[in-house]
Structure 1
Amino acid sequence: MLFTPRRIGSVTIPNRTVFLAHETGFAEDGLPTERDAAYYAARARGGVGLIVGPSSMLVHPSASNPMYASGYDPDVIPRLKMIADAVHEHGTKVFAQLQHTGGEDTGEHAMRETWAPSAVPSEFGYEMPKRMEREDIEEVKLGFAKTAEHVKQGNLDGLELKAGHDGILRQFLSPKYNTRDDDYGGSIDNRVRLVNEVVEAIRDRVGEEFPVGIRLTLDEMEEGGYDYDYAVEVIRRLHPSLDFIDSDIATISKLHITDAPMHAPLGYTSEYYGAAREEVDIPVIAAGRINDLTKANDVLEEGRADFVGMCRQLIADADTVRKVRRGADEEVTHCIACNQNCLGGIHTNGHVGCIQTPRSGRETRIPHIEDREPASTPRDVLVVGGGPAGLSFAVTAADLGHQVTIRERETELGGQSNIATRVDSRQEFGDAVRNLKNQLGNRDVTVETDTEVVPEDVDPNAWDDVIVAIGASESQPDLQGPDVHRSWDVLQGEAVGGSVIVFDNNKHAAGVGVAEYLAADHDVTFVTTSYHPGDQLEGTNVPPFMETLYEHDVDIETHATVIGFEDNTAQLLNVYSEDVDTVSADSLVVAERREARTGLAGALEEQGFAAGSVHRIGDCVAPRLIDKAIYDGEMLARELST
């Protein structure tokens, strides 16, 4: 069923796949940009049936946010036409998403108060919003109507109202955030009133034939918020002219549930959209960690939804639908839900992206590999190291016509990811390497494992280029002794005592990962100088780790560093008060920073290789996160092919 057409209102969607709405970070001065158009066009080219974007187009200045387009501004119309033209060129349909952020935003950008149904602060924010007066409500309704008119004038095919994990429409529906006692509060009928009046105001502007749907949170998952049974009553009261329901769960304060990291299983929200489908006769869009189109098709065949929504999967691989449709399933780069460059990228890079796919979010700068001419002069290239950087280089270089040989000293390809995946909740992280290995298997690349490369064995006359991608090692901790261990050594089987102190000098996944690994059958004390464990992790990854640590009764000591460990006793220095305390344990495990393995590249250069023919990529340049390693590899392969 996945590749069959289906109507939403008056519009026929060519297949059942939907690219769900999300921030891109590309807006400038409140307007979508060419980067938005290129980003959406890439997914349309990749075969998706419907794109919901631009996301969260704001309907009123009281919801000012620089990351979102100002849909109420008439200047948005030509930008929407640009997006519509780019998407329609590939036969895909595109709906805009309309939103007012309400009390789940701050007034920092516009330097004004935020609006909400009641003066009830969001768990996500810290500001007390203004309780909306009747004239405010009328302004917001008018803003939705004007923005909808702009969407239609911009040649988009429909629109979606956001009453999802954030947004004022959901706040009006919620008994927690809507404590009004007038016509807009006090009962379900009154709380639904604004949504339905917004629909009516929109219909007055765009007519009955223009598709209008709603993204609806089916369970707020907050103390005092509404549950699924309440959501059903909302659904039964929604305006009859709505054309579809796009499923959502939780609120923005529970983003680790809404956009769950790899701790959550694939398809973890199916009970919600499946139950909603039984309540309505209009299409329902499934959502929630769907990254496999075979399982997506099962959702449709079993009648749990009419469309399958994917967000992070199509960020990871814009060509997912096209690849599967032509039978190239092994070419798909599957999302691993690390959230590092999609959600995290918005805050670190200023735009959406994917750790596995350098082109994602950089479509205007990095051309599609299929649009590149093969290298005019193919090169014989030796890649030393079969981790993410080396594999990324090899796949791209092979696509561009080079002859590539990989030599890896370990039995398995994968590099440091093979260590990370020893932690149960991080096993899916290995799919980043598995995706590359699958793609490597479809290319004519020679792979030699169990092969240690020493400079003397590499003949400068045999290779045009040598790519050194040998990664990094975990640094030795300052503290030494027979009962002091590095986290990598422990994850690879080094024995420790029954009671363990984990000192996190890494601050990312290494410390919390080894603590989780040990907590199942050891007494663990976690020590960090930070305010909480894993404070450099992308935010949605922290709550699941914290839940696991507390579930296993791990003692957590924050604001502390270990200054000594002797006779099974650690001295802990509070970095603020400078008080010293002691904790007893059999072993100390230190999650340290990493050191680049730099020696091989220099030694090869001394072997007589031509200047510029020895290249370092990934962690042996400087230890960083996996996205930089994959980026280094692909970009060097492209550079050598110019």
Structure 2
Amino acid sequence: MTKYKNIFSSLKVKNMILKNRIVMPPMGTNYAAEDGEINEEHIKYYEQRAKGETGLIIIENVAVDFPLGSNGTTQLRIDQDSYMPGLYKLTERLHRYGANAAVQINHSGASAVPSRIGCQPVSSSNIPSKTGGAVPRPLEKDEILDIVQKYGDAAKRVQIAGFDAVEIHAGHSYLISQFLSPLYNKRTDEFGGSVENRTRFGRMVIDSVRKAVGPKFPILLRFSADEFLEGGNTLEDTLKILEYLNDEADIFDVSAALNDSIQYQIDKADLKDGWRSYMSKAVRDKFHKPTITVGNIRDPKVAEKILADGEADLIAIGRGLIAEPKWVSKVKNGQEDMLRKCISCNVGCAGHRIGLNKPIRCTVNPDIIYEDTYKKRKVTKQTNVVVIGGGTAGLEAACTAAELGCSTFLFEKKSYVGGLAREISKFPAKYRIGYFPSYLIKRAENLNNLTIFTNTKADIKKIENLNPDLIVNATGSKPLLPPIKGLEENIGKEGGKVDSIFGVFSKISEFEKMDLTGKKVVVIGGGAVGLDVIEFFSERKAKTSIVEMLPMLGKDLDVVSKSAVKEMLKKYDVDVNTSTALVEVNEDNFKVKKDEKEVTMNFDYGFVCLGMRSQIEGLKEIQEYFGEKNVEVVNIGDSVRARKIIDGVREGRDVILALEKIGVL
């Protein structure tokens, strides 16, 4: 603990005393019941983070006005007294572990979705909260005053329900933000135009909340310090705005961005740890109040330095606490090497909630609600488990089986484990993905009943020698190479110019040393991997082109990555060719077909990234041989079909179900 004396110092703000400086910021979950009530799984989710010794947990935004103020598919509500008992149960549970609890109160305004709320959204003006969003209607003055009162009523419920503080959301394209930002606010009355007028609604909300909760109850104000959009508020603008909002705000929660710059709100993968701390420092230096900073913070050394340098008073770890509920306790107990760090993929969290209206999940943590509860279960007799393949799915299966008491053996034909995740992390912009295989390897090393054989291809004889009760096949995937003229002859040829994605991986260090300025690079395939290749070469000043059969790029990307890709393509002036098919591969050009016309695309380097397909060599023989011996064989991960890491990891944890099936748990 002395190693991180700033992280583990207390902080008193009015009548709230925090035991450390780590904050779980508000993040939507889609866990609430359909009527906006909190439920047991929802409480369990937050309880895990309190058990992990998080100092302050700010519950996700709750609606102060229903249906107009609601933004989630299933969102917590606090617009009626009937929601207070459930929220009180939540605060009781969190307080048991010494965590302080706040809750964010919010009105979504134009960010509400008409199909969810059953009517037209409202806002400061008639400007959608994002490109392609619904057109809202401007609020009348009497409606504004009514919403102000609803904020106050909600804050009083927050206090009675046992929370230690209340946070007002004034950022991220929600209603108060829609008044503050000149991008949204086109009003000509006393709520629009000048900075004073645009802050009037927010000022009234803060005053309403303070009147409701009294002088000693802490009020947090969250806002977008820089909107990162042309014509939007800059940090300098926000510092002026806060002059009007400063009174009665006790903690400034300094965030960033709007819906159309979401990659700077829910940080894209290549933004460095703590990149936003300069914003909180600017706010702290001007107003001399406690500030919270956030932004891809994974490393406790980074968190400690931000605090020590006076750039913030509190460190918010969002997705990192979804991935690792025990972040604080592990750091406190010297277990930094066992942190399950967030890889910034945004697939199960933002991708599920914002893009797909599903409950949040996590790529690297297959159970974010019950966490390690499965470890309480143990096998009832000697059980041997053989795992074939050392990618993330296979490693998760092997570790889980060993943690349940199985004697577990993993075969990997390569000289190392980690699979495709380890390869993808070779891209400089995707280095965080490497956190996960590193964590799994460390986890495996701590399990005495797990043996890993590298440079070893599994076969029936080797498996049989281990007397398996359960065999898990996790042999992954390989590049999809369709029967296109010239592809087989040219791809991966020594000294050639055409490669698959694995060719990129094997030559990344070589490419990093080259001067690629002006080199022509053509990538076939506009999925996640193809776009990673484009980004890599574009950043190195190559002249890049991308070809995709579908009418859009990145069809299956999460909403954050899509926004980041859009920005990247524009920044580097990438030549984008959608609705375009590859018809022939030559040693220095691709022939493609677009609008019924054949076009030749010359290149210095050409890459075929048409996705991946399952690799199941030997699986049928293993299933047949061991099936006759009544040994259960399960196939998981990309060897079922090529998907995302999150799918294979979940199936790896589901080895529990296979052990149940054979009756050993």
TM-score, scaled relative to structure 2 = 0.89
Structure 1 residue aligned with 2:57: 51
Deviation at 1:523, TM superposition (A): 4.4
Deviations 1:333-384 (A, max 9, x none): 0111110111012244711111011101x43xx76245x1332224232222
Structure 2 residue aligned with 1:635: 654
Structure 1 residue aligned with 2:611: 593
- 2:531 corresponds to 1:512: yes
Deviation at 1:149, TM superposition (A): 1.8
Alignment of 1:432-447 (within 5 A): 432-444=436-448, 445-447=450-452
Q: Structure 1 residues 466, 106: closer, same or farther in 2, change over 3 A?
A: closer
Alignment of 1:102-501 (within 5 A): 102-346=109-353, 347-348=355-356, 350-360=358-368, 362-363=369-370, 368-370=373-375, 372-444=376-448, 445-459=450-464, 462-481=467-486, 482-484=489-491, 485=498, 487-493=500-506, 499-501=520-522
SS in 2 for 1:55: strand
Determine which of 23, 26, 29 is the counterpart of 2:28. Answer: 23
Deviations 1:428-458 (A, max 9, x none): 2121111111222222232221112222333
Q: Distance in 2 between matches of 1:400 and 1:164?
A: 45
Q: Distance in 2 between matches of 1:281 and 1:569?
A: 61
SS in 1 for 2:399: helix
Q: Structure 1 residues 12, 384: closer, same or farther in 2, change over 3 A?
A: same
Aligned 8 A contact 2:129 2:259 in 1? no
Deviations 1:145-169 (A, max 9, x none): 1211221222222210000112111
Q: Distance in 2 between matches of 1:523 and 1:303?
A: 43
Aligned 8 A contact 1:345 1:352 in 2? yes
Q: Distance in 2 between matches of 1:552 and 1:184?
A: 39
Q: Structure 1 residues 141, 517: closer, same or farther in 2, change over 3 A?
A: closer
Q: Distance in 1 between matches of 2:345 and 2:386?
A: 30
SS in 2 for 1:473: strand
Q: Which amino acid aligns with 2:378?
A: P
Q: Which amino acid aligns with 2:648?
A: A
Deviation at 1:474, TM superposition (A): 1.5
Deviation at 1:591, TM superposition (A): 1.4
- 2:582 corresponds to 1:562: yes
Structure 1 residue aligned with 2:10: 5
Q: Distance in 1 between matches of 2:596 and 2:35?
A: 47
For structure 1, the residue ranges without an aligned partner over 5 or more in a row are none
Aligned 8 A contact 1:343 1:352 in 2? yes
SS in 2 for 1:166: coil
Deviation at 1:585, TM superposition (A): 4.1
Give the superposed CA RMSD.
2.5
Aligned 8 A contact 1:422 1:491 in 2? no
Q: Distance in 1 between matches of 2:65 and 2:382?
A: 53
Q: Structure 1 residues 349, 637: closer, same or farther in 2, change over 3 A?
A: farther
- Which deviates the most, 226-235 or 476-485? 476-485
Q: Which amino acid aligns with 1:592?
A: L
- Which deviates the most, 74-83 or 134-143? 74-83
Counting aligned pairs with the same residue, the percent is 26
- Which deviates the most, 493-502 or 237-246? 493-502
Q: Distance in 2 between matches of 1:49 and 1:559?
A: 51
For structure 2, the residue ranges without an aligned partner over 5 or more in a row are 1-5, 492-497
Q: Structure 1 residues 439, 569: closer, same or farther in 2, change over 3 A?
A: closer
Structure 2 residue aligned with 1:33: 39
Q: Structure 1 residues 588, 225: closer, same or farther in 2, change over 3 A?
A: closer
SS in 1 for 2:419: coil
Q: Structure 1 residues 563, 379: closer, same or farther in 2, change over 3 A?
A: same
Deviations 1:552-605 (A, max 9, x none): 55321111112334585544333xx54444434466532123222223232223
Q: Distance in 2 between matches of 1:608 and 1:32?
A: 47
Deviation at 1:239, TM superposition (A): 4.6
Q: Distance in 2 between matches of 1:32 and 1:149?
A: 18
Q: Distance in 2 between matches of 1:142 and 1:593?
A: 53
SS in 1 for 2:418: coil
Q: Structure 1 residues 13, 378: closer, same or farther in 2, change over 3 A?
A: farther
SS in 2 for 1:63: coil
Q: Structure 1 residues 177, 149: closer, same or farther in 2, change over 3 A?
A: same
- 2:68 corresponds to 1:68: no
Determine which of 606, 624, 634 is the counterpart of 2:643. Answer: 624
Aligned 8 A contact 1:598 1:620 in 2? yes
Deviation at 1:114, TM superposition (A): 1.9
